[in-house]
């Protein structure tokens, strides 16, 4: 077999290339060089060689081995290009810092309508959940028994008044007789006593009449203010106002409406330490904003009208209350609300970055900073609220730092990058589009 291979090589004068520039074309030429007859071998196409028996395959193996040995070029490592990232310095500008709290809407007034006198419920004069005006009749309790009591009291007043009208002239007559020394003093004293007794009976009868009229008034349950009345809790014909007042419904005033929230103790101390912080002297003028769960930002504006005078020791919070106009009744009591207010009226200088420039891990929030040597460094920062779509950086960053604002996924701390300066406005627009 070996002798046969040598004869073939000699016959076709195949010389393996010795330079490192051996190419696929050289190999193909060598393949075609042995494509003639070699003991029955035959060339099939320009793409390769097929032999008729094992000797042809052996020749091909020898040629491949010689070619591989001759093409020993040296491989050199070429470093990949440094990744391109967009960098920008944080925006430095005066901002108004806000406190972001959570709260709930509360009706301005809420009153339970109760039956204050005993009787059968005769009428319900409103539709459930309807708007009513102050003084509108809502419920009527059977008035007849109380009308009778008023008539009885009026009769008692008439009797008492007639007694007074009789006692007064008798007193004057006895006074004249005593002055003339015709009647004894005892008759004068008796006449005066009778007159005073008659006056007292008249006052008592008048008071009883007033009480009877009040009870009669209680049979007509009216709205104490403009508002919305809930569903009725007693049916027509039910006995109400027995041993204790019976709740009939509830009325709520929704315009305006309150929103309550709580300051943390830390926020309270920070406000107290700030000379320009809010105080109770500014009540009615301190702006407050809210947004509902389905709203973006804080579109509803109001003012703070109450701040509790003491911190709740059980929760460590201070209650505040804002009042908001609600003419369309879009705010209902009990809704969750996001609350924002400015504890200080003086803006302060702050650094801002788009949210896309910040990352987070178990240590907290961080940014990637590029130094003068184009090396990436991880910088832990403390963040504040979002203002105009950008995050306030409380500490951990300086105005001169170059922060990666785009391409952060290609940057690795400790490695070099190719920084390209960007404007933060463009970075912020990309962040908004991503959201």
* pLDDT tens, position by position, 14-29: 444 444 444 444 444 4
Whether the pLDDT of residue 86 is over 70: the answer is yes
pLDDT at residue 260, as a whole number: 94
Q: Is the pLDDT of residue 426 over 90?
A: no
Residue 32 inside a domain? The answer is yes
The answer to whether the beta carbons of residues 371 and 298 sit under 8 Å apart is no
* Rounded Cα distance, 290 and 303, in Å: 11
Same domain for 366 and 326: no
Given 324, 341, 358, the domain boundary residue is: 341
My answer on whether 386 and 336 are in the same domain is no
In this structure, the answer to whether residues 197 and 177 fall within a common structural domain is yes
Exposed, middle or buried by CB within 10 Å (0-12, 13-18, 19+), for 381? buried
Tens digits of residue pLDDT in 160-212: 888 888 888 887 877 887 777 777 888 777 878 888 888 898 999 999 999 99
Residues 135, 234, single domain; the answer is: yes
Q: What is the mean pLDDT of the chain?
A: 80
Are 34 and 156 in a shared domain? no
Q: How far is CA 360 from CA 185, 213, 368, in A?
A: 105, 73, 11
Please give, one letter per residue, the 3-state secondary structure of 253-293: EEEEEEEEEEEEHHHHHHHHHCCCECCHHHCCCCEEEEECC
| Residues 6 or more apart whose Cβ sits within 8 Å of residue 183 | 174, 177
Q: Which residue has the higher pLDDT, 308 or 11?
A: 308
40 in a structural domain:
yes
Helix 144-179 and helix 185-218: axis angle, to 10°? 160
CB contact at 8 A, 339 and 267: no
Do 232 and 253 sit in the same domain of this protein? no
pLDDT of residue 434 exceeding 80: no
Read off the pTM. 0.59
Q: At 285, which CATH number?
A: 2.40.30.170
Question: Domain end: 307, 341, 375, which one?
Answer: 341
**pLDDT average, residue stretch 72-92:** 83
Instruction: Count up the domains in the chain and report the number.
Output: 4
Would you say residue 150 has pLDDT above 60?
yes
Residue 7: band (very low, low, confident or very high) from pLDDT cuts 50, 70, 90: very low
Give residue 353's domain range. 87-93+349-434
Confidence of residue 115 (pLDDT cuts 50, 70, 90): very high
Q: Answer with the residue of higher pLDDT: 240 or 184.
A: 240
Measured from the Cβ of residue 109, the count of other Cβ atoms closer than 10 Å reads 13
Q: Are residues 400 and 312 in the same domain?
A: no
**Interior angle at CA 260, CA 325 and CA 335, nearest 5:** 75
End position of a domain, from candidates 321, 341, 361: 341
Structure token digits, residue 112: 């339970």
pLDDT in tens, 336-363: 999 998 887 778 888 999 988 999 988 8
Instruction: Please check the confidence at residue 36 and state whether its pLDDT lies above 50.
Output: no
Query: Residue 214's pLDDT is what?
Result: 94
Residues 262 and 381 in one domain: no
Residues 26 and 129 in one domain: no
Task: Indicate whether 102 belongs to any domain.
Answer: no
Same domain, 243 and 131: yes
- Say if 238 falls within a structural domain: yes
Asked if residue 108 is part of any domain, the answer here is: no
Angstrom CA distances, 352 to 101, 130, 184, 343, 428, stand at: 21, 49, 105, 20, 11
Q: Per residue in 196-208, pLDDT tens? A: 888 898 999 999 9
Given a cut of 80, whether residue 425 has pLDDT beyond it is no
**Please, what's the b/e burial string for 283-305 (b: 16 or more CB within 10 A of its CB; e: otherwise)?**
eeebebbbebeeeeebebebebb
Candidate from 84-98, 174-188, 253-267 with smallest mean pLDDT = 174-188
Q: What is the DSSP string of 130-149?
A: -EE-TT-EEEEE--HHHHHH
């Amino acid at each position: 077999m070996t002798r046969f291979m040598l004869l073939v090589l000699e016959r076709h004068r195949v010389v393996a290339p010795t330079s490192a520039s051996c190419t696929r074309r050289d190999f193909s030429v060598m393949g075609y060089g042995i494509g003639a007859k070699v003991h029955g071998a035959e060339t099939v196409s320009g793409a390769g060689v097929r032999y008729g028996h094992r000797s042809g395959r052996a020749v091909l193996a020898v040629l491949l081995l010689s070619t591989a040995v001759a093409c020993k070029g040296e491989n050199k490592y070429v470093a990949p290009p440094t990744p391109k990232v967009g960098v920008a310095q944080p925006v430095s500008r005066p901002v108004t810092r806000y406190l972001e709290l959570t709260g709930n809407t509360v009706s301005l007034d809420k009153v339970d309508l109760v039956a204050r006198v005993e009787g059968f419920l005769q009428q319900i004069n409103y539709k459930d959940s309807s708007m009513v005006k102050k003084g509108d009749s809502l419920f009527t309790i059977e008035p007849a028994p109380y009308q009778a009591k008023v008539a009885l009291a009026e009769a008692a007043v008439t009797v008492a008044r007639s007694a007074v009208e009789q006692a007064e002239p008798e007193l004057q007559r006895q006074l004249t007789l005593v002055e003339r020394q015709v009647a004894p003093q005892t008759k004068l004293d008796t006449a005066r006593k009778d007159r005073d007794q008659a006056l007292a009976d008249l006052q008592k009868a008048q008071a009883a009449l007033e009480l009877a009229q009040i009870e009669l008034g209680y049979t007509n349950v009216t709205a104490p203010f403009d508002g919305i009345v809930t569903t009725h809790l007693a049916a027509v014909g039910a006995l109400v106002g027995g041993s204790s007042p019976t709740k009939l419904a509830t009325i709520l005033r929704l315009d305006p409406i309150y929103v309550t929230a709580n300051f943390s103790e830390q926020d309270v101390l920070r406000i107290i330490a700030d000379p320009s912080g809010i105080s109770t002297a500014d009540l009615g003028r301190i702006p407050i904003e809210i947004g509902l769960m389905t709203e973006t930002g804080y579109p509803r504006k109001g003012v703070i009208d109450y701040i509790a005078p003491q911190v709740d020791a059980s929760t460590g919070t201070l209650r505040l209350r804002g009042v908001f106009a609600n003419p369309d009744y879009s705010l209902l009591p009990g809704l969750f609300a996001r609350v924002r207010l400015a504890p200080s009226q003086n803006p302060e200088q702050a650094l801002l970055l788009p949210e896309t420039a910040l990352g987070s891990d178990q240590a907290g929030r961080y940014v990637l900073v590029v130094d003068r040597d184009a090396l990436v460094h991880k910088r832990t920062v403390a963040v504040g609220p979002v203002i105009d779509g950008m995050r306030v950086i409380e500490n951990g960053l300086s105005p001169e730092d170059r922060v990666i604002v785009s391409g952060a996924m290609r940057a690795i701390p400790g490695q070099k990058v190719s920084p390209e300066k960007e404007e933060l406005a463009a970075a912020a627009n990309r962040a908004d589009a991503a959201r």
